[in-house]
Amino acid sequence: MPKTEAKKIFSELKKNEIHNIYYIYGQNTVGAEGLVKAIIRKTTGDYSDFSLTKIEGKSISITDLSDKIEMFPMLSDYNCILIDDYNADEQKDNINKSLAELLKSVPSQTVIIFRITATDIKKGKKTISPKNKKITDIAEKYGVLCECTVPSTAELSRYIISSVQKNNCSISNQCAVELAEYCLNDTLSISNEIQKLCSYVGNGEITSDTIKLLVYRQSDTDIYKLANAVCRSDKKSAFEALDELLAQKTERVKILFAISSSFMDMYRAKIALQQGKNLNQTAQDFSYQWEFVLKNAFRDCSKISLSKLRKCLSILRDTALTLNSSSGNERVIMEETISKMLTLE
């Protein structure tokens, strides 16, 4: 069975067409979450407390999963199993092989949902990594494979206008586009910002001034672009983002602090994953207010090694000391800092 679009899955659910495997992945975290919730609601009804089992992909037990797959549902039509962020690249080969075999014979009363949004199964590339592809190939053959991609700015604009109207507020198309761009088209970030903006204006209109007042400013999104480019060792994009920040006359201290924060987020995410902790546990450990910040960190940390993260943080610390104690050209200092980080192995 070929890769399936989300709207087709929603249509099938309305017609009570249920598959035994759903593999849902991609950077559109809001879209993926909405699809997963719809499948769970359709398969377990009002009895998800009894018929839904949640499993962390990082700490999956094949024996435990095998037992749960064979269970019969209680009160609902299906026994539903949700597996979060299983990444075959981070698992032992015998676990991947055993999982693949289990997925070939899922009983009719069981529905397995893979929700892959906080880990990068493409390893920073355009295609799914070979190890993960062995799992997704089985999902294609025995169930449904669906990539929730980030929509275009125009699509996000329509989504923003619709969501704002549901909250009894209003926003122009121009301001909707502005909000999407401020959030780097990140659907989870946009969803969070809509709630904040609607709470602020009550039943009024969200204007450009409201967005500029409450939403992360463009300099912050450029800082994210810069940190992300360094992770990918993308020299051109990194210096373009730095140039944009400097052109906006963003304070050097703010740039440095924000970049350091981005790398610290990824460092925490990397350590958390090594310790078998999930996103929610990490958010609680470090009191994160905005979930999408940590969600991005969990996704992006796969593109950079722990050793490189430590070295980047060390370089940023040294730069902070230099900026505080030197009267040298701040632009040159920042450019040298980015160059050092880009050349790290």
Interval 82-104: pLDDT, tens: 999 999 999 999 999 999 999 99
Spell out the alpha helix ranges (H) of the chain.
6-14, 29-44, 48-51, 62-69, 93-103, 130-142, 153-166, 173-182, 187-201, 208-214, 218-231, 235-247, 252-274, 279-286, 291-300, 306-325, 330-342
| Same domain flag for 190 and 247 | no
| Same domain flag for 141 and 98 | yes
- Find the mean pLDDT for residues 270-280: 88
Q: Among 99, 114, 147, where does a domain finish? A: 147
Q: Which has more confidence, 291 or 150?
A: 150
Please check whether residue 1 lies inside any domain of the structure: no
Q: Among 113, 147, 181, where does a domain finish? A: 147
Task: Give the CATH number, domain containing residue 190.
Answer: 1.10.8.60
Please check whether residue 256 lies inside any domain of the structure: yes
When divided into structural domains, the chain yields a total of: 3
Q: Is the pTM of this model over 0.75?
A: no
| Same domain flag for 10 and 138 | yes
According to the model, what pLDDT value does residue 54 have? Answer: 92
- Find the mean pLDDT for residues 283-309: 79
Q: How far apart are CA 176 and CA 173, in angstroms?
A: 5
Give the least confident one: 57-71, 181-195, 213-227: 213-227
For the stretch 234-255, pLDDT in tens is: 889 888 888 888 877 777 777 7
| Same domain flag for 168 and 263 | no
| Same domain flag for 60 and 118 | yes
According to the model, what pLDDT value does residue 1 have? Answer: 44
- Find the mean pLDDT for residues 293-319: 86
- Model confidence at 292, in pLDDT bands (50, 70, 90)? low
Contact 226, 258 (CB under 8 A): no
| Same domain flag for 25 and 61 | yes
For the chain, give the mean pLDDT.
86
| Same domain flag for 198 and 223 | no
According to the model, what pLDDT value does residue 291 have? Answer: 62
Q: How far apart are CA 1 and CA 160, in angstroms?
A: 33
According to the model, what pLDDT value does residue 57 have? Answer: 92
Task: Give the CATH number, domain containing residue 260.
Answer: 1.20.272.10
Is 290 strand, coil or helix?
Answer: coil
According to the model, what pLDDT value does residue 52 have? Answer: 93
Expressed as residue numbers, the domain containing 248 is 218-342
- Find the mean pLDDT for residues 276-288: 81
